[in-house]
Structure 1
Amino acid sequence: MDGPTAQNIVNMSSEVILVTGGAGFVGSHTVLELLNANWSVVVIDNLVNAAKGGSKPASLERVEKLTGKKVEFHEANLLDRSALTRVFKLYTIHTVIHFAALKAVGESVEKPLEYYKNNINGTTTLLEVMREKGVKSLIFSSSATVYGCPKYLPVDEKHPTGVAITNPYGRTKYFVEEILKDLCAAEKDWSVTLLRYFNPVGAHESGDIGEDPNGPPNNLMPYVSQVAVGRRPQLQVFGGDYDTPDGTGVRDYLHVVDLARGHLAALPKVSIPGCHIYNLGTGSGYSVLQVIDAFQRASRQKIKYQVVARRPGDVASLYADCSLAERELGWRAQLSLDDMCASAWRWQQKNKYGFSPPPDGGADH
């Protein structure tokens, strides 16, 4: 396991935030916001969804450059109990923000065992180590997929979960939520906040950190970005016959910076025992074709696409009622779909191949 020893840890405040999966897309943006809010941050990541840099993942090296602050990093897998225990011995941890998970809906349908093992067993191992070390506050990166096929729209936190979930990824998030609810019911000193994300997209305004999927993107926005920048010839639109205004799937797209700030807004809840649940989205749904149109405006590029059969595990429409987060956390999304597309395009233009060098060794842009 890489990382500092007790002898060379940089000077920190007495308490730190531990971020699992902090080198990934949402994780790295949240680390940046935490640093800007003067928190000390420790990241654990196994680099499955993140690119290597020098001594740290490339995303965290750029976060350090953007903020002028240091991030402590440990390369470790949550299934490795001894590695987790060593990290908890090094720091006085205030709260854990738990992002680390396999996250592709389509892949989860093809590889269910890998998703159940990584997402559920990794979380229970983390919780056991947290309990041993007396750290009992957690913010969990959940998902709107726990709602399954929605019975009504917009979906609020009272909507049933666990019914008609259409893919193993969503079921792993649902099962972990149930584990956390049971834990809070059994052990009254735990404080857990479940943040149910809708569809995070976009990038930091600098264009220096953004979404960099390994292999072909599983989500719409990075695929559109890669078509616009010339990395891929065209986009496949999965399903043109849904019961939506234009036949394509409708989702609640949320700027990743708004989402990152939602985690900071949730931090005061960690002083209140129990299980707290919030949707984080914009409250508006956009179809695939609307997103393509907005991206074409932002990039001034023609996006070639082909409508193909529906993808297993997808639902027609899903968007959020986020009024509870506004009332209780003082949080609401500030950035528009145009902002999301403009920032994603800025990131992709500056980093055609993401955090990786060009395959021919030439200039990146």
Structure 2
Amino acid sequence: MAILVTGGLGYIGSHTVVELINNGFEVVIVDDLSNSERFILNNIEEITGKKPVFYPFDLRRKELLTQVFDAHRIDGCINFAASKAVGESQLKPVDYYENNLFSLINILQEFKKREISNLIFSSSCTVYGQADVMPIDENTPLKMPESVYGKTKQMGEEILIDFAKAYGRKVSLLRYFNPIGAHPSGKIGELPIGIPNNLVPYVMQTAAGIREKLSIWGDDYPTEDGTAVRDYIYVVDLAKAHVAALKKLMSDQSGETLIDTYNLGTGRGSSVLEVVKAFEKANAVEVPYQICERREGDITIAYADPAKAEKELGWKSETPLEESLRTTWEWQKYLNSRNS
């Protein structure tokens, strides 16, 4: 029983691969290494004792994807393959639409041709835009996202819903909030290429002296301390949710169309400054920062109501913020040792 994990050497993908292997699944990874590095594959093997099959190519190359499906009996797919930086997506919209949507369509063409089901889509809370009411549950109305990245996620969901309805397939749309942290082993974690676009990697690199100061994008939001509020979820907890969602899809024997949608978060919002202070406390380090103007595409506040995932998947996020941030620093120290 093989599960295709696209973007499987990336941040969330690599942690999900570990959890899949720990749950007895055979894993086939496709990753173009545009936002990951090959040594992660070896580290996955060190953590699990098993080395996944790995194909290094861009999913837009349909002929190579067909070869993977020819070579393996694929029983399902978890699709992480996407460009993900909100700020960059505003500067390179065409690149984001092409990469994030064409790769998904190519996977679905193979699923359609081979009558495969069980596809999990790495979606995002950005599909809600700036929600009017907190916390955000699955019945919260979708809005046009503020960023091109968010738009690609919303379009991807629509494509998958149409696919499932037209061909009677099973899909799960996982709308998660802000993943942070690293594996307890310290051997896999978020590995941004160039200047980080997400908060916690930038905090981590600033604490390590790689960046001079952390840029906080705006302190005039209508929040308690003026900085934007997000729901920060530990990446290993998030990875376990993917496995739970996959098991639910695969256990369904009704033969009917199944479209699951889950919000994955902690149910609690934390501001940017709260995260910075929690990181400093967890790791006994200082993070110098500067306040900058708001960044285009960012929203004010977003945090999840994860009750549906707990009820239907038996899953909930249990790792505290400070513990998540402690693992982040262990990952940075590992990277420092590799580069020394």
Give the match for residue 95 of structure 2: 114
2:73 to 73, 89, 92: 92
Conservation of the 8 A alpha-carbon contact between 2:144 and 2:151: no
How far apart are 1:182 and its partner, in Å? 1.2
SS in 1 for 2:336: coil
Report matched runs for 1:187-206 at 5 Å. 187-188=167-168, 190-206=169-185
Does residue 1:342 correspond to 2:326, yes or no? Answer: yes
CA–CA distance in structure 2, aligned partners of residues 207 and 129 of structure 1: 36
Does residue 1:177 correspond to 2:177, yes or no? Answer: no
For structure 1, which segment, 178-187 or 312-321, has the greater mean C-alpha deviation from structure 2 after superposition? 178-187
How far apart are 1:268 and its partner, in Å? 2.4
Conservation of the 8 A alpha-carbon contact between 1:149 and 1:164: no
Does residue 1:246 correspond to 2:230, yes or no? Answer: no
1:296 to 263, 266, 280: 280
AA at the equivalent of 2:112: R
Conservation of the 8 A alpha-carbon contact between 2:2 and 2:26: yes
Conservation of the 8 A alpha-carbon contact between 1:22 and 1:99: yes
Q: TM-score if structure 1 supplies the norm length?
A: 0.90
Output one character per residue of 1:55-108: Cα deviation in whole Å (capped at 9) or x when no partner.
xx2111101011111210001211111000000011111110100000000000
1:46 to 18, 32, 51: 32
Give the match for residue 11 of structure 1: none
Give the match for residue 278 of structure 1: 262
Conservation of the 8 A alpha-carbon contact between 2:171 and 2:260: yes
Give the match for residue 20 of structure 1: 6
Report matched runs for 1:124-135 at 5 Å. 124-135=105-116
How far apart are 1:302 and its partner, in Å? 1.1
Conservation of the 8 A alpha-carbon contact between 1:95 and 1:270: no
AA at the equivalent of 1:342: R
CA–CA distance in structure 1, aligned partners of residues 26 and 7 of structure 2: 16
SS in 1 for 2:205: helix
Conservation of the 8 A alpha-carbon contact between 1:231 and 1:352: no
Does residue 1:267 correspond to 2:253, yes or no? Answer: no
> Which segments of 5 or more consecutive residues in structure 1 lack a partner in the other structure?
1-14, 52-56
How far apart are 1:262 and its partner, in Å? 0.4
Does residue 1:29 correspond to 2:8, yes or no? Answer: no
SS in 2 for 1:84: helix
SS in 2 for 1:94: strand
Conservation of the 8 A alpha-carbon contact between 2:118 and 2:246: no
> Which segments of 5 or more consecutive residues in structure 2 lack a partner in the other structure?
none
Q: TM-score if structure 2 supplies the norm length?
A: 0.97
AA at the equivalent of 1:182: D
SS in 2 for 1:301: coil
Does residue 1:69 correspond to 2:42, yes or no? Answer: no
CA–CA distance in structure 1, aligned partners of residues 167 and 334 of structure 2: 48
How far apart are 1:37 and its partner, in Å? 1.1
AA at the equivalent of 2:81: A
2:311 to 321, 324, 327: 327
Give the match for residue 9 of structure 1: none
SS in 1 for 2:27: strand
How far apart are 1:232 and its partner, in Å? 0.8
CA–CA distance in structure 2, aligned partners of residues 242 and 44 of structure 1: 40
CA–CA distance in structure 2, aligned partners of residues 148 and 141 of structure 1: 17
CA–CA distance in structure 2, aligned partners of residues 78 and 346 of structure 1: 32
SS in 2 for 1:78: coil
More helix by share: 2
- Computed over aligned residues only, the root mean square deviation of the Cα atoms, in angstroms, reads 1.0
The runs of at least 4 consecutive aligned structure 1 residues that moved more than 4 Å come to none
AA at the equivalent of 1:17: I
CA–CA distance in structure 2, aligned partners of residues 168 and 157 of structure 1: 21
Conservation of the 8 A alpha-carbon contact between 2:30 and 2:55: yes
Give the match for residue 152 of structure 1: 133
For structure 1, which segment, 87-96 or 271-280, has the greater mean C-alpha deviation from structure 2 after superposition? 271-280
